[in-house]
Every structure is written in structure tokens, then in C-alpha cells.
Structure 1
Amino acid sequence: MPETATAPWTATPGVTEKLELSLTTQGPLYPPSEVMDADGNFVVVGMVNRATPDGAIRPEWGAAIVSPDSPLPDFGDLAPYTVVRELDCEPDGPDKDIVLYTLPLPLPCNNYPMVFAPEQLPEAGRVKRPSHAFHEVPIPDLRPEDGPKLTTPVTFGAWMRASGTLEVGVTSDGCHGTFGFTFSRLVPNSVYTVMSLRARDLDPTGPTRPGPLGVPNVFVTDADGNGRYDATLPNPFPDPGLPEANRIINVVVLWMSYQRSYGGAIGEFGLGGDIHAHLKLRGASFQNLRTTAAPRS
């Protein structure tokens, strides 16, 4: 039966969904990607803003090399990306040998007004750092004799071999959501984290801070890039009509270039400065899942 504005909100205990995650390099639309190439261009796998014949701007899922000099609109608005060329996503295709890099700081082509770690680094926007190849990121306090495990370039072809599945559901009491991930062919021997994206995190009128999907939100891949992560969160799918409701609508699997996690923050800089989206769902999800707040004792 279709929901109405007056229909009572009831939880969906025991309901589960199994979803395939999509390969990506993108968080929000700006910066266009959380990964760059050696020339300082964005390596975009995700939504590409393109102009339509009627003059509109429409994001469409695709892959392209995008200039960092692309027009930058106000947060919440769109402008066409300056596409240098289209990108072949086949793991063994002609673009397989592109070496992947972090974004420099301050982040280029960024309009997201967010401090990701307000207690740890409230002045993150003032930090300056160059772009680094993924295998050459200067991990704090690391010495060669400590045995860094990632010592060869991470290429676009290797990045595009990854896969992941998510089984998400509601507990029997209707008050919690469970998230179970299985991954293969991620970057080997690496720290990854999982973040949640909530309905108001990209709200132009007042975005909320994206957060971890569970704390700690960390898993470490094995030598073949395999991994698993599980989390249970309180009331992640509340009635959207409630004043403070902020449902989880997506999840993002992040490669951590500094091989560390950040407690209750997803990163110090986010958006390619220290986190790099590798897998996510292509759009808002979990509409059929409902939770309610646990009764107060």
C-alpha cells in the first residue's frame, strides 16, 4: 500500500537487502574526483557534469579525465566539467597504467563548506601539501625499516578490478541497522574505512558532517585485496518526516592514503586529501528500510 503523509511510521524488523557496490573515484560532485593523475587532472569515475543541447547541466554516470580548472559553482549548484578526454574503465584497457595520486592541499575545485575533523584539525583549510602518488604518500613518522607494505604504484587498471557487496538490514527489535560488507581485489595490504552519507550531508542550506559507519570503521585488506567489514548502528533509517531525522542514504568505502583512521571523523581533509572513495552505491538507497529509536529505559 502506498505511504501517505498521515500513515504511521513503523519499523521493518528482519528486512534485508543485498546490494552490489559500484567502482568510483568520487565523493560529492566537487571536487570532481578524490583521485588525480601525474599531470594534476582529476581521474573521474562517477557522475560527470555535462552540458546538454538545451543548455542545462546534467550529471551522468561515466568516466573522464577532468581539468582542475573546471568552472566552480556555488555549493549546491552545477557547472559543466572541463573534460580533457574520456576514460576507458576496462582494467586491461588503454588507461590501465595511469598512476593514481592524492589531491593537493588546499583541495582544488572544491566548494563543499565542511570541516571534517573539527576537534582534531579545525583549520584544515589552511594546510598546504603537494599531490603524492599513492605509494609515495608521506605517512607520519614512517621509517623505511618499519616495513611499509605499499611500495609500488597503484594504477587505474588495478583500482578498477575491485568489487564489493553489502547486505543491509533491520534488527528484530526494529531499532538498529546492520551493515555487512565483503570485498575483493581492493588495494592490497591497506587500511580502508567505511563512511555513511546521510540525507542532509549535502544539503545546500546547511550540510551535516559526514561520519563513520561505526567506530572504529576500519578494515585492513590482505595480500590479495580481500576484506570484510561489519557494523550495527542505532536508528539509521528513521522517519524522514521527523524534524531531526537524517537517514543514511549511501555508504562509501574509502582507501586511506595515510594508512590511518580518524576516530569520529572520516578524515582530516576528506575529498581526496587523505580519503579516496573506491566503492559506493550510485544513488540514494535504503528507501524500503525503516527503524525507530530504541525505547528510553
Structure 2
Amino acid sequence: MTRSRSYELSMTTQGPLYPPSEVMNTDGHFVVIGGINRALPGGEVKAEWGSALVAADSVLPPFGENAPYRIIRELTPELSAKDREMVLCTLPLPLPCSNYTAVMAPEQQPDPFAVVRPSYPFHQVPIPDLQPEDGPKVTEPVTLGQWIKASGNLTVTLAEQDTAADFRGEFHGLIPNSLYTVMAIRRRDLDPDGPSHPSPFGVPNVFVADEEGNGSYHARLPHPFPAPDSAAAGNRIVNFVVLWMSYQMNYGGAVGHHGLGSDIHAQLRLPGPGFGEFVTHA
């Protein structure tokens, strides 16, 4: 049995495939770095890792299915000077091109789909109760060139006689002096017959990037990797996601009130489901 392993996290703007990204630009296009749904010659759809601007009115299939994105234009691996200066924004509410039906914070925000809110540049998000004299730290536009600097590593080690696991992450190139949280994706969250809301990776699940954009996080979780063929298999953790919090808020037992680009923004994660080499027991 594997007892410890390190992983390199991928920089991204994407959580699930819908909405296509958790980041928009000022033109209202999704800024996608992650899986991009493309049509294959035989009519099938395949998500291939890449970078592109994607239209907010792309075809939206039922949850668990995929359709080709309507691509405005590709983003080159070496961004142009103009693209590096692209100002990043939240998604509006209701979320465009989203088929994720789970309520992110059922106790705090039980009816999130009724909320209407515009898209805001990251540095102009209306943080609740904020006064100018309080000293907000994110006051300049957050650009795509700044966002893509993020990198990170995660080490997973089984603990407590394989009934728990330690997760230790080290991150660099983050948005300086701002709030981040860490989210767990469990197998049940991706269930096409009824997804559950993603959960914090430990509580509290927060860290603050320093003035150079560095940060670290540690959590020990009980029984994170039930056997894939067990009754508890839905609780298996399959991804570790580092979220930038545009409202600079933490939400206790929820990862956000609305999620998916409205108040949380995935910046680092594994590129696909992982941790299959680990098994824990109760």
C-alpha cells in the first residue's frame, strides 16, 4: 500500500466543466485554463487540457454530459502582452452556462439560484460591510498574467494506522495578501444522479498568501480514502483544489455561498481525479 506521495498541482481557472471557467474577463467571456470540450470527427466530445476564451452562451447539456464549447479564440501557451494584461472578473449570478444543481451552503444560503448579481472585476468586488478606511489589500486589477504564475505541490501521507491522512501543500505565485481556501472534491460530488456540494478540506480551511504570493496549508482528515468498492466509496477524496476567495470571506462548513466562480475561484488543482493508490479504513 502506498503510504506517501507528492503531486504537482496544475494552475487552472476551472472547477467542473460547467460553468467552463470560474473566471471571466470584462467582455463576459469565460477565461478557460483547464479541460476544453471539443467535438471529435465522429461526433463525440472530448475534454482536452488547453487555454481559450469561451462564450457564455455555449450549449449547456444536462449535468454529467458534455457538449463542445463555443470558442471565441484560443489562448497561446506564451500569452501575448495584451492577454497578460487581461483583467479578471467574477461570474455573474445566476451563473451562466452552469448545470451544477447542488446548493453550496444550504444553511447559509438555501436559495442561491434566486440571487441576481453582476460580474465584478476582482479588485472591485463589493466585500460586505467593507469601509475604505478598513484597508482592503486587493486594490489593483488582477490580471491573467498574474494569475498564471501560480504553482504548488501537495504531499499526502497516511497516518494513524491508515485511518487518516495528512495533506501538506506549498504554493507560490498566488495573488499576494489575499484569502485562499482549500476544497475537497469527493466522488459523490460528481454523481450525475445527484451531486452533493463540495466540502472544505478541513475546518478552518483557510490560509493567507503573503506579500510575495507564497502560502502553505496542512490538514489531517479522517478516513479520506474508503475502498472504491465499499459502501462509503462516495466519500473518497479525488481532488484537492486551492480557491481564491474574491469576497475575502470564509464560510465555515461550506466552501462558498454560490461557488463556481461567483465567490470562489479555482487556481490550483490536480488535472484529473487522483489518489487512487490510497486506501484508508474507519
TM-score after normalising by structure 2 = 0.97
Question: Displacement of 1:69 after TM fit?
Answer: 0.7
Alpha-carbon distance in structure 2 between the residues aligned to 1:109 and 1:219: 30
Question: Displacement of 1:90 after TM fit?
Answer: 3.4
Q: 1:285 aligns with which of 251, 270, 274?
A: 274
Give the match for residue 98 of structure 1.
86
Alpha-carbon distance in structure 1 between the residues aligned to 2:100 and 2:77: 27
- Out of 130-139 and 93-102, give the one that drifted further: 93-102
- Out of 168-177 and 146-155, give the one that drifted further: 168-177
Give the match for residue 268 of structure 1.
257
Question: Displacement of 1:199 after TM fit?
Answer: 1.1
Alpha-carbon distance in structure 1 between the residues aligned to 2:189 and 2:68: 22
Amino acid across the alignment from 1:210: P
Q: 2:9 aligns with which of 18, 21, 37?
A: 21
Amino acid across the alignment from 1:285: G
Amino acid across the alignment from 1:261: N
- Report if the CA contact (8 A) 1:116-1:266 is conserved: yes
Alpha-carbon distance in structure 2 between the residues aligned to 1:87 and 1:177: 38
Q: 2:236 aligns with which of 223, 232, 247?
A: 247
Question: Displacement of 1:92 after TM fit?
Answer: 6.6
| Identity value in percent | 58
- Report if the CA contact (8 A) 1:89-1:157 is conserved: no
Amino acid across the alignment from 2:258: F
Gaps of 5+ in 1: 1-11
SS of residue paired to 1:138: coil
SS of residue paired to 2:218: strand
Amino acid across the alignment from 1:28: P
Q: 1:37 aligns with which of 9, 15, 25?
A: 25
Question: Displacement of 1:93 after TM fit?
Answer: 5.0
Give the match for residue 122 of structure 2.
134
SS of residue paired to 1:201: helix
The total of aligned residue pairs comes to: 281
- Report if the CA contact (8 A) 2:112-2:257 is conserved: yes
SS of residue paired to 1:200: helix
Alpha-carbon distance in structure 2 between the residues aligned to 1:23 and 1:210: 19
Amino acid across the alignment from 1:227: G
SS of residue paired to 2:123: helix
Name the structure where helix makes up a greater proportion of residues: 2
Alpha-carbon distance in structure 1 between the residues aligned to 2:241 and 2:24: 18
Superposed CA deviations along residues 207-242 of structure 1, whole A, max 9, x for unmatched, are 122100000000001111101100000000111212
The yes-or-no answer on 1:204 pairing with 2:170 is no
Alpha-carbon distance in structure 2 between the residues aligned to 1:286 and 1:84: 35
Note the aligned Cα RMSD (angstroms).
Answer: 1.1
Alpha-carbon distance in structure 1 between the residues aligned to 2:160 and 2:255: 29
Gaps of 5+ in 2: none
Q: Which consecutive aligned stretches of 4+ in structure 1 deviate over 2 angstroms post-superposition?
A: 88-94
- Report if the CA contact (8 A) 2:226-2:232 is conserved: no
- Report if the CA contact (8 A) 1:91-1:161 is conserved: no
